[in-house]
A and B are shown apart, each in its own frame.
Chain A
């Protein structure tokens, strides 16, 4: 008489489950759908020995029993329903030798359902190449089950698996995790209410949205009463369950699983050895950064100059073509100059995101995250802080939002507070224009000083974030720690389409979002610069003509003098002059002061503001760069010299010059306290560093 047994193959996606299924069933398989849903149901049969036949069910891939998709629900429903004709006599959990840690989460959950569960470690042929060693006996002892190393490629281990399946009754059904360690009160009460039920099964019934009609409902009639706890509390318990499981998995693998990367021979491991090396990993990362910043300067200078001169020509053209009047002046001096201040930076932004997306696409960015994680933990930042810190190089707003997945409030708060130090793309225009004005375009050993300065500014921002985190870590107290798992994707060639989409999206949003703000601010600034209170403004022409009547000035010189005098006595001039005493020690004049105030809305407004202010005062055909380079102090020396430039760059590196970031920090922390502290402390740091830089260098 033939004995039939049901075997369920379960595993994470991409663990080679289907290969094991094929190796067991050969051609004896059929594919259908689960009733009512379009989830594929694969079944096959396998003769284990003369008298035992196995009906093998290949269940959809799932990462855990905390189902989040229909595919995963199929697995949970089947494993909880003993009356289902497919209910397995034995479960085979297929894992991938390289990702055993992640795969064991699902294994421990299935084992706790008290079904005989076999652990298959697939792709065992990779072990030597990857430098992996596993103590199988000890692993069997710790997991209280049978473990089989299988390689479907080398057709090894399948016969041993068949033998274990024949003898499945000898496999222990003892659970691995005691649910009362998750929450003693909750699970003890659950046990008292349903004394003859498995606690873990009850827990799954309560937390999973499974189809209750299929369950043994008569045995758990009031399972819903245990839903009295709020959804968020149940979610918290689920998280605690996952953490408990990973803690025990970590401990087991510490004793049984070794990866010696130095012994690994495959290309990926060799590359990983180098790219995440304790020393060379950082060297390579900094070399890549250096190349990126060099390229940004070298490649973008031609389009940048072209755009700059085009806008200057456009402004001049508008002045000559449109009838003279207030609107013509507003468009030529306000709108066009202001917009020129943003469009000019399209090439740099596009190149920056081109490089970032290539690094992401190739899989290198995950290695950077891993590399940084190792370094950051010492400074009180979570491994999960790395992603917000890296995405902060694009914009602090999504970066602050990305901190939501940090469970530990202290680590999350520290990350939120230090993220604005990382150099966002809005700082790039300010840095670019100042670097091109004050840093010589020379090279040393082929390295451009300008690119090097830009890289230095990115690093200084990151360094300040780490130092601040370290200080905050000492000031704020919290007993908990969060866990961080990063999966290293395989290396691959970047997909051109994905890169192009990222570059387009980022550049477009930079131009559209910042462009609208800059346009609005430029218009208001123009009004404030073109009108003023009192006699001085309205009689500017008369006053200046009288003042210089003894000097032989030509018409153009006289016109410039009048324009400067008017600007000084305009509304914006008065505002700038009011704050001048505070910023004078930093090497800034009142016009830069205006740019500092207006760029509080968004940092990139700085260049647009100066372009607008100078265009009211100077010739329209001049480019932004020449206007800024031509600015002088009262003693005739250049305003934008090295001390002022460095002082300004440091100010922008550290100051919290972004209203939108403050708003999002308020939203995420639900109080004005933290954005207030952030604004105050960052402004103080920025002011002091700028002051020191100017006073030392001048």
Chain B
């Protein structure tokens, strides 16, 4: 039982780490969906 509890707890910990890294890592979107930043609407 103790091994089961440890396994699930570690799995949850790894999931939490993976989720947060994936959530907040900078995304490289294709240039077509990015504004050029100069306000020209491109």
Contact = CB atoms under 8 A, between A and B. Distances in A.
A601 B40 contact: no
Contact of B41 (A235, A519, A671): A235
B41 A326 contact: no
Interface string B27-42: 1010000111111111
A7 to B, nearest CB: 38
B5 to A, nearest CB: 4
Contact of B13 (A232, A516, A517, A527): A527
- Name the prevailing secondary structure of the A interface residues: helix
Interface string A308-328: 000000000000000101111
A283 B16 CA distance: 48
Contact of A520 (B5, B19, B27): B19
A178 to B, nearest CB: 25
B35 A524 contact: no
A524 B38 contact: no
A659 B24 CA distance: 7
Given A232-B42, A325-B2, A326-B9, A670 B35 contact: yes
Interface stretch (A76-84, A354-362, A405-413): A405-413
Interface stretch (A454-462, A620-628, A660-668): A660-668
23 contacts: A235-B41, A325-B1, A325-B2, A327-B4, A330-B12, A335-B12, A404-B35, A404-B41, A407-B39, A517-B19, A520-B15, A520-B16, A520-B20, A521-B16, A523-B12, A524-B16, A524-B17, A524-B20, A659-B24, A663-B26, A663-B27, A667-B34, A670-B35
B24 A236 contact: no
Interface of B: 1-2, 4-6, 8-9, 12-13, 15-17, 19-20, 23-24, 26-27, 29, 34-42
B2 A663 contact: no
A407 B41 contact: yes
A328 B5 contact: yes
**Considering the complex of A and B, which 4 residue pairs feature the smallest CB-CB distances, nearest first?**
A409-B39, A670-B37, A327-B5, A325-B5
A509 to B, nearest CB: 15
B38 to A, nearest CB: 6
Q: Which of B2, B29, B35, B42 has the most CB of A within 10 A?
A: B35
A601 B5 contact: no
A232 B12 CA distance: 49
Contacts of A523: 12-13, 15-16
A412 B41 CA distance: 11
A671 B34 CA distance: 11
A669 interface: yes
A330 B9 contact: yes
A232 B40 contact: yes
Given A335-B12, A520-B20, A523-B13, 6 more contacts: A236-B41, A325-B1, A326-B9, A327-B4, A667-B35, A668-B37
B41 A524 contact: no
Nearest to B21: A520
Nearest to B24: A659
A327 B24 contact: no
Contacts of B24: 601, 659-660, 663
Contacts of B5: 323, 325-328
A404 B42 CA distance: 10
A511 to B, nearest CB: 16
Nearest to A482: B39
B13 A668 contact: no
B12 to A, nearest CB: 5
A525 to B, nearest CB: 9
Contacts of B20: 517, 520-521, 524, 601
A520 B2 CA distance: 23
Q: Which of B16, B23, B35 has the most CB of A within 10 A?
A: B16
Given A236-B40, A325-B1, A326-B6, A516 B35 contact: no
A323 B3 CA distance: 12
A633 B6 CA distance: 35
Nearest to B38: A409
Nearest to B1: A323
A659 B25 CA distance: 10
A380 to B, nearest CB: 15
B8 A327 contact: yes
Nearest to A230: B42
A406 B40 CA distance: 9
A691 to B, nearest CB: 28
A247 B13 CA distance: 61
A523 B37 CA distance: 38
Contacts of A517: 19-20, 23
A516 B38 CA distance: 35
Contacts of A330: 9, 12
A408 B9 CA distance: 52
